[in-house]
Amino acid sequence: MILAILDIGLVFLGYIVTIWFYHVFSIPAELESLNLLWLLVPSAAAFIFFYFFDLYKNLRGNSLKTQLYSRVLPMILFSIFVSASSCLGSLLFYRKSFFIEAFFIQIILLAAVHAGIWLIANNLHGRKRVIIICEDENTGQSLAQKFHRHKWFEISGYLPLNQIAHLENYVNKFDVFLLAPTIIGQLKSDILNLCIKNGKEVLIVPHVSDLFVQSAKSQQVGDMLVIPINAPGLNIWQRIIKRGFDVVTSVILLVLASPIFLLLLIIIPLTSSGPAIYKQERIGLNGKPYWIYKFRSMIEDAEKITGPVLAASKDTRITIIGRFLRAIRLDELPQLLNVLKGEMSLIGPRPEREFFISQFKEKLPDYPYRLSVKPGITGLAQVLAYYSTTAEDKLRFDLLYVRNYSFSLDLKILFQTLQVVLQRDRAQGLLKNNNYGHQNLIKSLKQDKAI
């Protein structure tokens, strides 16, 4: 709430400074009272854009670069919206470019203030020493990779389960204890109790069952407190609202994107042999197969020799125009037709092929839970994770979405997808031979360093 009020104040201050600069460091008398107060209206409206871009989450989840960059796109959209709206009302006082000029000053103010907040918070609470508690070194390395280049945490090492009895001797040497998802039952409770007793922070990589309990609300049966856990999925009213939103939004997007759609229908066959659109069988709601439509971004019959494989970074099968389409997600555009047909939703877990689902189910028995809602063109895993994020980590995001669905969450994901589209690294395929910092990571995870 404090950050939201601060942002509204900074946007309003940006308007005042713009007027002040334009009138050579003064404010005309005719703008001193009523007209200036009117500027509070668009200033407050900026919060709506900031909210749907989810700018008020925990600071520790972002780097300074991300913290600053994430405010640019919502401010651009907000300024365009206010400029267009001002022509219909009394907010345009003396020139059409006012809100666009104010945008640059507002960006500077927002960047300076939030950079200061981030740096102060990082200086006071950042660089915490993290110890990973897991079953073996391979798991420790996998979890440690998630902290690579993170400015808030510093991996100190890992503690294998065969050394867990000595944890109490080292609890004061570390600030944060990260528990692998395999740490469950009484062992998990004992570690939590020890850390809480010593005032230490615990980060838990949740098991699927933890996500189900997290979203449940307690009930009372007589004098007994119970936590009901229902099967994942949407109720009837949620399905009606979601379907109505899907249809209306898809029609609007298809109309707006129709020139791009027609252009790609022509360009793709001209740049590589094969049709512009291809279809592929995917698994949808409740395991029902359907044909998904996409603009072709690979050579024709790309899997004829290799068989079903996930796209990799610098995949030679991807065409020149295909790299561009994937970078800004235009290859997904024909899936709006799947949405209109009722096979997909705008927001939901990404659809997968039966071949890969069978593999995932062997390692992740809870994977089929994500099929309890329609697959989506974009989803929580797409805006918070990467293309190369593991299936297990993506499953956590997908189930978190299923268990916490709301219409406002769908709007948030839709807005944040715009931001993800502009980040090319988020669209990279699976990384091969990623040895960046591998030796240093292994060195930092040596058992003798951890204990």
DSSP 370-407: GGGS--EEE-HHHHHS-TTS-HHHHHHHHHHHHHT--H
Same-domain status, 66 and 115: yes
CA separation for the pair 427, 313 (Å, rounded): 9
Same-domain status, 355 and 220: no
Same-domain status, 248 and 203: no
Of the three residues 124, 155, 190, the one that is the final residue of a domain is 124
Residue partners of 168: CB distance under 8 A and separation at least 6: 194
CA separation for the pair 13, 312 (Å, rounded): 47
3-state class percentages of the chain: helix first, strand second, coil last, to nearest 5: 55, 10, 30
Residue partners of 410: CB distance under 8 A and separation at least 6: 242, 245, 346, 347
Q: What is the pLDDT of residue 264?
A: 93
Burial label, 382 (beta-carbon count in 10 A; 0-12, 13-18, 19+): buried
Which residues partner with 355 through β-bridges? Answer: none
Pairing of strands 224-226, 277-283: unpaired
Pairing of strands 376-378, 345-347: parallel
Q: What is the pLDDT of residue 110?
A: 93
Same-domain status, 197 and 241: no
Q: Which residues of 233-269 are buried (b: 16+ CB within 10 A; e: fewer)?
A: bbeeeeeeebeebbeebbeeebeeeeeebeebeeebe
Which residues partner with 378 through β-bridges? Answer: 347
Pairing of strands 176-179, 201-204: parallel
Same-domain status, 280 and 407: yes
- Between the two ends of the chain, the Cα-to-Cα distance in Å is 41
Scanning the structure block, which residue is given the tokens 């209306």?
248
CB atoms within 10 A of CB 292: 23
Q: How many distinct structural domains can be found in the chain?
A: 3
Sheet arrangement for strand 201-204: 153-160, 128-134, 176-179, 201-204
In a 3-state reduction of DSSP, which class is residue 344?
coil
Q: What is the pLDDT of residue 32?
A: 55
Same-domain status, 139 and 174: yes
Q: What is the pLDDT of residue 222?
A: 66
Which residues partner with 155 through β-bridges? Answer: 130
Same-domain status, 256 and 143: no
| DSSP tag of 298 | B
Same-domain status, 314 and 186: no
Q: What is the pLDDT of residue 41?
A: 83
Of 329, 300, 330, 331, the closest CA to residue 317 belongs to 300
Q: What is the pLDDT of residue 105?
A: 93
- How far is CA 187 from each of CA 142, 241, 301, 343, rounded to the nearest angstrom? 21, 43, 51, 44
Same-domain status, 303 and 378: yes
Q: Output the six-digit token pair for 413.
A: 């994901």
The pTM assigned to this predicted structure is 0.77
Same-domain status, 111 and 131: no
- How far is CA 42 from each of CA 4, 48, 412, rounded to the nearest angstrom? 14, 10, 20
Q: Output the six-digit token pair for 85.
A: 């709206």
Same-domain status, 243 and 184: no
Q: What is the pLDDT of residue 89?
A: 59
Determine the structural domain holding residue 67 and report its residue range: 2-124
| DSSP tag of 430 | B
Q: Output the six-digit token pair for 311.
A: 């796209």
376-381-387-388 Cα dihedral, nearest 10 degrees: -140
Q: What is the pLDDT of residue 33?
A: 54
CA separation for the pair 303, 62 (Å, rounded): 37
CB atoms within 10 A of CB 349: 25
| DSSP tag of 233 | S
CB 367 within 8 A of CB 360: yes
CB 51 within 8 A of CB 1: no
Predicted confidence pLDDT, tens digits, the chain (451 residues): 888 899 999 999 998 888 888 766 656 555 555 467 778 888 888 999 998 888 887 777 677 888 888 888 899 999 888 888 777 655 555 566 788 888 999 999 999 999 999 888 888 887 888 888 888 778 888 888 887 767 788 888 888 887 787 788 878 888 889 988 888 888 888 888 888 888 888 988 888 777 777 767 777 676 777 777 777 788 899 999 999 999 999 999 999 999 999 999 999 999 888 899 989 999 999 999 999 999 998 888 777 766 676 666 667 788 888 888 888 888 899 999 999 999 999 999 999 999 889 888 888 888 888 898 999 999 998 888 877 788 888 888 998 898 888 899 999 999 888 888 776 555 555 554 444 444 554 454 454 444 5
CATH number for the domain harbouring residue 211: 3.40.50
Of the three residues 73, 91, 124, the one that is the final residue of a domain is 124
Q: Output the six-digit token pair for 19.
A: 């007027």
Of the three residues 90, 124, 158, the one that is the final residue of a domain is 124
Scanning the structure block, which residue is given the tokens 């360093």?
449
CB 159 within 8 A of CB 129: no
CB 177 within 8 A of CB 131: yes
Q: What is the pLDDT of residue 104?
A: 92
CB 87 within 8 A of CB 70: no
Same-domain status, 306 and 375: yes
